[in-house]
Structure 1
Amino acid sequence: MAEPTKVILDSSSLIALSGSCLFNILYKLKAKNNLDFLISENVKRESVDTPLSINRFELNALRIREAINKGTITVVKQTKELDNLMKSIEEAASQVFSSEGAGSLRLIHAGELESIALVKLLNAKILAIDERITRFFVENPEELGRLLETRRNEKISYDENAYSKFASLIPQMTIIRSSELIALAYEQGFLEDDLGKGKLTLKASLFALKNNGCAMSGYEIKSFVGKI
């Protein structure tokens, strides 16, 4: 049997799926497509351990915890090698953007840093992350600089040499969002039992993800739906 395809999940994707009541598709996608869903201990802390102490988020955390207990999601234990790589990536990332008011900007959080490091250490090919800043940081730093200037209403400096150092530390990978997982689930018929067939099923599911933190626009949703 072929080796499963490793998919590293960030907490943003987990939370979007669990909050939109679409979490069960992970069970089906794993079995159908020979996928291995993996998360770091920091991601577990962000998506399960901490939310379990907050009434508003307990149900979502329980869904994720159950997937871990059933083996659908595997938690990768912290190692010194992972810690060292994570710290190196964090230090390099912190030198890329700066502002006069705040100095160096630390834009990538612990769970996201650890997820990126896991992709490299486990030789995975796919990182699922719904958070816009980190995706832009990796894929389109110049656009991120413009976005930051708009959000913060101040001049943002971008150090291209620092970005090159950051890029040398991270792996080649495909970055997806929970929306791509839902689109695949729709194509494979996994949404039909609960929601029925048709474009409205996909549209409603994608808007549910958007409303639970998946960074995607209405235009992107229209584009997704238009392809079916």
Structure 2
Amino acid sequence: MKKRYVLCDSSSLISLSDSCLDSLLYFFRDNFGVKFIIPKSVEYESVTRPLTMRTKVYCFSAIRIQDMINDGVIEVIEADTEAETRKLMEAGNGIFYAHGKPLRILHIGETEMIALARKLEVNSLLMDERTTRVLLENPVSLAKHFQDEFHTNVMVNRQKLSEFSEHAGRMDIIRTTELVYIGAQQGFFHPFGKLEAQATEAALYKLKYSGCAVSFNELKEYEGLMQ
């Protein structure tokens, strides 16, 4: 079976593990040969840091993710992406300006993941974090979003936007809700029998409350597609 690679960010892994849906990654590995990979920074954000924090809120989620790493469902990739990550962060954090100051919208985890995707020539990203996802899919729409959020005019530096788009390239962004929907279509929820449809719907709503940036209207659309 040919391997298909999907790069994951910490937000998607946390959403899945917090929703007790980590078995979905096993399902795609075992049935479709999907290999989920992460950079070291995502391992730190989703596993190492939560396990060393005083608060135990995210500890169980981190343990579940570590278990997937131990089982080979998720592979941690070490690669020299420092220079490309720096270029992406410099460009991305210089695109939008409010009150004459740049809006810092990119963080190391998501940025390193994009750089790693380019280096490995992997175009599929599993990502729930809204800002980075929209920056990759439809960056201009973020200006209006920020204007509504901050109630001020937001300027777009077209040169920085062009630089970021050139470095990032084209990416196929997958949200965890979309992964659940695809899994449902492929039989992931069949073991629930007569409760299959309800289990799918419940899983989608649980993901929303676990951090996936999905609206109630989008959830209703999923429900319509599954009928």
Same fold (TM over 0.5): yes
| More deviation, 152-161/53-62 | 152-161
Q: Do 2:79 and 2:116's aligned partners in 1 also have CA atoms closer than 8 Å?
A: no
For 1:69, give the aligned amino acid. Answer: N
Q: After the TM superposition, which residues 68-217 of structure 1 pair with which residues of structure 2 at under 5 Å, given as runs?
A: 68-79=69-80, 82-100=81-99, 103-193=101-191, 197-217=195-215
For 2:218, give the aligned amino acid. Answer: E
Task: State the TM-score, normalizing by the size of structure 1.
Answer: 0.94
Q: In 1, distance between residues paired with 2:83 and 2:29? A: 30
Q: In 2, distance between residues paired with 1:132 and 1:165? A: 21
- Deviation readout 1:29-84 (Å, 9 max, x if unpaired): 111111110001000010001111331111000000000011000001142xx111
For 1:32, give the aligned amino acid. Answer: N
Q: In 2, distance between residues paired with 1:68 and 1:142? A: 36
For 1:49, give the aligned amino acid. Answer: T
Displacement after TM superposition at 1:197 (Å): 4.1
2:31 is the alignment partner of 1:40: no
Q: After the TM superposition, which residues 9-88 of structure 1 pair with which residues of structure 2 at under 5 Å, given as runs?
A: 9-53=8-52, 54-79=55-80, 82-88=81-87
Displacement after TM superposition at 1:127 (Å): 0.5
Task: State the TM-score, normalizing by the size of structure 2.
Answer: 0.94
For 1:45, give the aligned amino acid. Answer: Y
- Could you tell me the percent identity over the aligned residues? 34
Unpaired segments of 5 or more residues in structure 1?
none
Q: In 2, distance between residues paired with 1:196 and 1:110? A: 44
Q: In 1, distance between residues paired with 2:145 and 2:211? A: 18
Q: Do 2:192 and 2:199's aligned partners in 1 also have CA atoms closer than 8 Å?
A: no
- Deviation readout 1:69-121 (Å, 9 max, x if unpaired): 11000001142xx11111111111121111116x1111011110011111111
